[in-house]
């Protein structure tokens, strides 16, 4: 069955058109696309989606609608996450998507977002049934933490921290000052206190990071000269290496980040905050597990894959 999945986040909107296997558990890609639209720009302060952000997003939806029709997808699911959950005018967004794509966009809860992210990662990872795996989905406006095993999700939490939100709140200088960095780290640690109360972080044996911030940090850790999905997907790096890569991205100027061959132009101004969040998360995990968790896996398969699988199941 051919399905189409759209993941509309705070920073980017992504499309996956894929064929779902008869067992409903695996995917074969037909087409993937990603467009940085910065839908959540200013939402943290204004509480609404701006007209310019909506225009950028609707232009991408028009493009995706053409691609979906061309490939003959039988089932379509459109999922929106943090920015639209927080926006007072989200009805304008919902009606605009419905008009262009012919389906009702689903503004899902943080809990469902976490479950879909875990399903996407689980569709490609091979682990022991009882191994405790933490999937971290670091987005533009929120970060989801999902703990589970091959049998499914055990606990999860969504937090209001992401690369766009934290750039707007804390990192206004280029590069960020020590004071700005310290304020951002302090807020991440506060969120992680809430995470630790909801999810048993001390039991984690394997950590998998998904979404563009984490795969971009992985590209830096791997010293790639261009973005290579094959090299990044499944790459396991020592936390010390990830920390060093995150520090390099955080301390670089926007011009220096833009010059990196793997850097998407839409991430240049927000990757520093994303790298800071990821580094601080891994530091906490290493501490809580007494060093047992000393590496992190980057995955190119994430919530988008989970949405595609769920579209087939719903149909």
pLDDT in tens, 262-311: 999 989 999 999 999 999 999 999 999 999 999 999 998 888 888 998 88
pLDDT tens digits for range 27-73: 899 999 999 898 888 877 888 989 999 999 999 999 999 999 999 99
Residue with the larger pLDDT of the pair 237 and 47: 237
Q: What sign has the CA pseudo-torsion 39, 44, 49, 53?
A: negative
How many whole angstroms separate alpha carbon 59 and alpha carbon 304? 20
The pLDDT of residue 263 is 96
- The answer to whether 156 touches 114, Cβ cutoff 8 Å, is yes
Residue located via tokens 């850790």: 221
Query: Among 20-24, 57-61, 174-178, where is mean pLDDT lowest?
Result: 20-24
Instruction: Spell out the domain ranges in the chain.
Output: 2-110, 126-299
| CATH of segment(s) 126-299 | 3.30.420.150
Note if the pTM is more than 0.75: yes
Fold of 2-110: Nucleotidyltransferase; domain 5 (3.30.420)
Which token pair is 37? 């639209």
**Mean pLDDT computed over 121-144:** 83
How many whole angstroms separate alpha carbon 14 and alpha carbon 68? 12
């Amino acid at each position: 069955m051919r399905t189409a999945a759209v993941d509309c986040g705070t920073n980017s909107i992504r499309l996956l058109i894929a064929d779902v296997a008869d067992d409903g558990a695996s995917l074969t890609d037909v087409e993937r696309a990603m467009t940085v639209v910065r839908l959540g720009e200013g939402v943290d302060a204004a509480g609404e989606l701006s007209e310019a952000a909506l225009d950028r997003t609707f232009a991408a939806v028009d493009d995706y609608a053409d691609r979906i029709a061309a490939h003959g997808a039988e089932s379509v699911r459109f999922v929106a996450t943090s920015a639209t959950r927080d926006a007072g005018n989200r009805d304008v967004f919902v009606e605009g998507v419905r008009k262009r794509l012919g389906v009702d966009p689903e503004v899902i809860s943080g809990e469902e977002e976490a479950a879909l992210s875990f399903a996407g990662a689980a569709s490609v990872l091979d682990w022991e049934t009882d191994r405790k795996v933490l999937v971290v989905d670091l987005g533009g406006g929120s970060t989801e933490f999902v703990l589970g095993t091959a049998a499914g999700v055990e606990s999860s939490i969504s937090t209001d921290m992401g690369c766009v939100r934290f750039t707007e709140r804390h990192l206004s200088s280029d590069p960020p000052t020590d004071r700005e960095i310290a304020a951002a780290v302090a807020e991440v640690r506060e969120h992680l206190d809430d995470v630790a109360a909801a999810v048993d972080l001390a039991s984690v044996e394997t950590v998998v990071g998904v979404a563009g911030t984490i795969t971009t940090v992985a590209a830096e850790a791997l010293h790639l000269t261009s973005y290579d999905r094959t090299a990044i997907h499944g790459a396991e790096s020592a936390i010390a290496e990830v920390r060093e890569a995150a520090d390099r991205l955080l301390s670089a100027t926007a011009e220096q980040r833009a010059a990196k061959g793997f850097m998407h132009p839409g991430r240049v101004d927000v990757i520093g905050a994303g790298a800071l969040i990821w580094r601080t998360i891994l530091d906490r995990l290493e501490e809580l597990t007494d060093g047992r968790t000393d590496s992190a896996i980057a995955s190119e398969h994430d919530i988008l894959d989970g949405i595609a699988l769920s579209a087939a199941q719903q149909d």
